[in-house]
Structure 1
Amino acid sequence: MKIITIGDNVVDCYLDQGKYYPGGNCVNVAVNCKRSGAEEVGYIGVFATDDKADHLKNVLGEEKVDFHRSRTVEGISGQPKVNLSEDGDRIFVGGPTNTVRHQVKIRLIQDDIDYLKNFHVAHSSCYSFLEEELPVLSEHIKVSFDFSDRREPEYLGRVCPHISYGFFSGADLNEEELERLVSELEKYDLEVIGITRGARPALFIHKGVRYHQEALETEVVDTMGAGDSFIAGFLTAFVETKNIVHALEVAAHNASVTCGFYGGFGYPKALV
């Protein structure tokens, strides 16, 4: 299985620790796909020119994620500030708004298209500002998209016609709101709908059949990146085997492991 992720990279700055960790939805998914056994993983993003971008690149190299099609823009990396609650939930408390991520968007060119044709699926997210590129992207490759908590009908209508796999965070939804979201998504021809629900069982829908996956019991240190590792485990296993039950088991295991350490996938450095 070969996957490419296109979009955000940041460093998550843990204020209580005085450390930062590499992250961003697309970087987290890329690294966790490789760790889950993907044969080849690529990443296209926009890197800054600071020491934090250097750390991100070094880490991706260590994890065998190919980022050679990425862009470099003069400026600073995204640096969301994070506090942790007593039960390990991450709480974002702002960050600079003059980063390269705020300044530029990725515009796919023919060389990018030629490169990504070597992969089975491309993953992006609502944090990547790639919505304008989805119509072109989806002509050449299946697209996976993490909506996080973006569930407005207008946004769904803009994104869903161009994707195959849609992932949502639904921890805040009651049963009536969950069914309303499912009903809205049924308007589109998605191969897989995945809705994670925090400690409650995740709901996945494939070919009209519903599947539920319980969260595995684990000692939670930090929930940062758990949803991304869930997506990565699911995509890696499902694209390879088409066995959704197995893919959900792999996804739950991945998320459980990620909850056991700080950061999206490790590699802390001191904030200076």
Structure 2
Amino acid sequence: MSQALFIGRSVLDVTALVQDFPVPDGKVKALANDVMPGGSALNAAVTFSHLGGRAALATSLGAPNLMRDFLISDLSRRNVTVHDICDDPEYGIPFSTVISTRSLGARMIVNGAGDECEKIHQRNDLISADAQLIQIDQYERHFVAKHFDALQAFEGPIVLDGGSWKEWSPDFLRLADIPIVSEVFCPDGQRTFAAMCAELKISRWAITKGHGGVVWHDQGNEGQIPALSVDVVDTLGAGDIFHGAFCHAYLESGSFVDALSQANRIAGESCTHAGTRSWMDA
């Protein structure tokens, strides 16, 4: 059974699926509502486990409370092992408010007001455990900074889930063997990102472009995978699901391009359902 460690922030998503965004001062009726654990690494870990892998999640949970219990219980049902890396009893799991539209296949996200946990446990044991692959997602940066040397020494591949460009993105990119980033991660375009990867001697990378599919580079070879043509209901978490599916397929097959293709298909299918979980239970 393939095993992977996912490192990243966990949140609680308060979601609403609507037909169209409300106008200012307007109201609309939701087509669906939910409250569920979320976050890039968390959703990827759940996907990895759903596909048959053994997933562990290193994330900040903070003080015991109902929200923490809810998150741990949910992930236990999804067979994801959770490791709390936060050493701050004042830290609380942040809320994220998400409104998704069926008409546009777009969403608005309001992230929680709190900052990341800065008081971090030393957990080199997580990195030196049985994981064959590690995914990082530009969050839990204090944990990543504290364990930078251990991550550099990790013998398996480190996959970067790069959303938007951040001031600390170069540090995460230096750790990555396989960066898979969104097109908004590349503010100066694909050519600049390719040059950055070449400078860091990264030979495998991909850029996800939504309706434009996936552009990939694999040890000098290049190509593009077209987006799956589906009846989009909700795109929430599609990128996270893509990464979890990629990590599982890559460990199973060892083929970079085949793994991207499988991830592209699974992420596309997830968009035909509301939320981040209902595609798994359909």
Secondary structure at the counterpart of residue 194 of structure 1? strand
Aligned to 2:162: 147
Aligned to 1:164: 177
Distance verdict in 2 for CA 1:260–1:147, change over 3 Å: same
- Residues 198-217 of structure 1: pairs in structure 2 closer than 5 A: 198-217=210-229
Normalization by structure 1: what TM-score?
A: 0.84
Distance verdict in 2 for CA 1:12–1:69, change over 3 Å: closer
Distance verdict in 2 for CA 1:103–1:159, change over 3 Å: closer
1:89 is aligned, of 106, 110, 118, to: 106
2:79 is aligned, of 56, 59, 64, to: 64
Aligned to 1:223: 235
Aligned to 1:77: 93
2:11–2:93 CA contact under 8 A, matched in 1: yes
1:50–1:77 CA contact under 8 A, matched in 2: no
2:8–2:137 CA contact under 8 A, matched in 1: yes
Aligned to 2:25: none
Equivalent residue letter for 1:88: G
Pairwise CA distance, 1:28: 0.6
Equivalent residue letter for 1:2: Q
Equivalent residue letter for 2:48: C
1:6–1:122 CA contact under 8 A, matched in 2: yes
Secondary structure at the counterpart of residue 153 of structure 2? coil
1:135–1:162 CA contact under 8 A, matched in 2: no
Aligned to 2:14: 13
Distance 2:111 2:50 in 1: 30
Q: What runs of 5+ residues in structure 1 fail to find an aligned partner?
A: 268-272
Pairwise CA distance, 1:94: 4.1
Aligned to 1:252: 264
Distance verdict in 2 for CA 1:172–1:44, change over 3 Å: closer
Distance 1:102 1:234 in 2: 27
Q: How large is the Cα RMSD of the aligned pairs?
A: 2.6
Distance 1:223 1:201 in 2: 14
Aligned to 1:2: 3
Distance verdict in 2 for CA 1:170–1:163, change over 3 Å: same
Aligned to 1:122: 134
Pairwise CA distance, 1:9: 0.7
Pairwise CA distance, 1:5: 0.6
1:84–1:91 CA contact under 8 A, matched in 2: yes
1:44–1:71 CA contact under 8 A, matched in 2: no
Aligned to 1:50: 65
1:171–1:198 CA contact under 8 A, matched in 2: no
Secondary structure at the counterpart of residue 189 of structure 2? helix
Secondary structure at the counterpart of residue 104 of structure 1? coil
Distance 2:185 2:201 in 1: 25
Distance 2:160 2:185 in 1: 20
Q: Which range is displaced more, 201-210 or 104-113?
A: 104-113
Distance verdict in 2 for CA 1:76–1:190, change over 3 Å: same
Q: What runs of 5+ residues in structure 2 fail to find an aligned partner?
A: 17-29
1:171–1:196 CA contact under 8 A, matched in 2: no
Distance verdict in 2 for CA 1:33–1:191, change over 3 Å: farther
Aligned to 2:24: none
1:82–1:92 CA contact under 8 A, matched in 2: yes
2:3–2:132 CA contact under 8 A, matched in 1: yes
Query: Over residues 218-259 of structure 1, what are the superposed CA-to-partner deviations in whole Å (9 max), with x where a residue is unaligned?
Result: 121111110111111112112221223321221012101221
Distance 2:86 2:106 in 1: 32
Query: Over residues 63-105 of structure 1, what are the superposed CA-to-partner deviations in whole Å (9 max), with x where a residue is unaligned?
Result: 111125655744431111112233232211343x23xx53335
1:50–1:75 CA contact under 8 A, matched in 2: no
1:21–1:266 CA contact under 8 A, matched in 2: no
2:192 is aligned, of 180, 191, 195, to: 180
Pairwise CA distance, 1:184: 2.2
2:270–2:276 CA contact under 8 A, matched in 1: yes
Pairwise CA distance, 1:51: 2.3
Residue 22 (structure 1) aligned with residue 37 (structure 2): yes
Normalization by structure 2: what TM-score?
A: 0.81
Aligned to 1:270: none
Distance 2:111 2:86 in 1: 25
Pairwise CA distance, 1:23: 0.8
Distance 2:133 2:186 in 1: 29
